[in-house]
Chain A
């Protein structure tokens, strides 16, 4: 069985987990918890860029980053459901995934900048990431026709991005200002694939404390 290197809270690992869940192949992947910042770091065995997720195949090949893993998993049975195969539909799904990934990266970078000691922190960087979150969510609100419709890897990516904004910036309260996006996200949050991949659910599955 392929082994997915994860942490309970990684939003990019979650994207792979949601896809596997939606596809019904969740039980065909072994999960291996990964220590990215502590004393037992060994991720570079599987990914020289030292990031999760990484997917180790039976022959020892490791795949990354998350868009590659998601497409690989979706194609395992030869019938990809979340990656349209041709035409603009395909590239619209991939573009939406890129937006979702950027939405995920912004609070991640924000968090890392805020966590720096004072002398290494730049307030303009902190603000830059917040502005990016605002701009991407505003764009998604006004283009909600691009996320409604059949679920693709794009919608899964955006869900992970919104989930991670909620996780890192619980005070943001964006739902009331962005009703279209808020309503769509509410329906995504009710899916089993979302509920079963929260950091709490992941921690329990991996047998580690909730981060």
Chain B
């Protein structure tokens, strides 16, 4: 398999962490291209032109990151990262949505901050920041359930927090969120997280 990737994308990181936790990483080759060449590289298979895009051994392209992660999970029975059914499944997917949604808004904050001074919308900076802070508060209140079992939920949350550390878009997120900070300290020490630390562009 081949993964079209960027070393700076937290969504790519999610798929790589899943691959490592599943023991599939040695079957996946990473490749990339300049942003302006993505239309040629990805356009015929993924018109969204976004990383991550996974090409399976038949050359079929898969996206977005939740689809890739569940696809990888289906290739091998253990460990189960997407519980098959029942509340365990919905809790894992809900947690993934908090992690992914937090990442989405944190990435938007980073893009807004990259606009020229005077051209950054205070309204949207405030709104996205509020969503990121809200996600963090909810996660801090649910830190106990994050450590219960490994699934796509904690993996997405770990990648979200890793992006906040790397991008510094909201400064220090730990502050009064001690439970979440403690959970993340443990989680970030996993080999799958250590091997995929985000790099700046």
Q: Give me the interface of A with B, judged by CB distance under 8 Å.
A: 44, 48-51, 61-65, 67-68, 71-72, 75, 86, 88, 90-91, 94-95, 98-99, 102, 112, 116-117, 119-120, 122, 132, 135-136, 138-139
Interface string of B78-97 (1 = CB under 8 A from A): 00000001010011011001
Prevailing SS type, chain A contact patch: helix
Q: Which residue on A lies nearest to B94, using beta carbons?
A: A63
Which of chain B's residues 125-183 have a Cβ closer than 8 Å to chain A? 127, 130-131, 134-135, 137-138
B101 engages A135 (CB within 8 Å): no
Shortest beta-carbon contacts, A-B, top 6: A48-B134, A139-B47, A120-B121, A49-B101, A48-B138, A68-B93
Whether B76 is near chain A, meaning CB under 8 Å from some CB there, is no
B67 engages A135 (CB within 8 Å): no
Total B residues in contact with A, Cβ cutoff 8 Å:
38
B47 engages A50 (CB within 8 Å): no
A68 engages B121 (CB within 8 Å): no
B47 engages A99 (CB within 8 Å): yes
Given contacts A61-B94, A120-B120, list 9 more A-B pairs with CB under 8 A: A48-B98, A49-B102, A50-B134, A61-B91, A91-B70, A94-B70, A119-B119, A132-B47, A136-B48
Chain B residues, CB < 8 A from A61: 87, 90-91, 94
Q: Give me the interface of B with A, judged by CB distance under 8 Å.
A: 43, 47-49, 60, 62-64, 66-67, 70-71, 74, 85, 87, 90-91, 93-94, 97-98, 100-102, 105, 115, 118-121, 124, 127, 130-131, 134-135, 137-138
Chain B residues, CB < 8 A from A117: 121
Alpha-carbon separation in the docked complex, A199 to B82 (Å): 35
Alpha-carbon separation in the docked complex, A135 to B49 (Å): 10
Most buried by A among B90, B124, B137, B138: B90
B60 engages A49 (CB within 8 Å): no
A91 engages B90 (CB within 8 Å): no
A-B contact pairs, 30 of them (CB 8 A): A49-B97, A49-B98, A49-B102, A49-B135, A50-B127, A61-B91, A61-B94, A62-B94, A65-B100, A65-B101, A67-B93, A68-B90, A68-B94, A86-B74, A88-B60, A90-B74, A91-B67, A91-B70, A91-B74, A95-B62, A98-B48, A98-B67, A99-B48, A102-B48, A102-B64, A119-B118, A122-B115, A135-B43, A135-B49, A136-B48
Alpha-carbon separation in the docked complex, A144 to B130 (Å): 40
B138 engages A132 (CB within 8 Å): no
A154 to chain B, nearest CB (A): 11
A132 engages B48 (CB within 8 Å): yes
Alpha-carbon separation in the docked complex, A88 to B67 (Å): 11
Chain B residues, CB < 8 A from A136: 47-48
B131 engages A49 (CB within 8 Å): yes
Asked, given contacts A50-B130, A50-B134, A68-B94, whether A95 binds B47 with beta carbons under 8 Å apart, the answer is no
Q: Which residue on A lies nearest to B86, using beta carbons?
A: A75
Alpha-carbon separation in the docked complex, A62 to B93 (Å): 11
Alpha-carbon separation in the docked complex, A107 to B176 (Å): 38
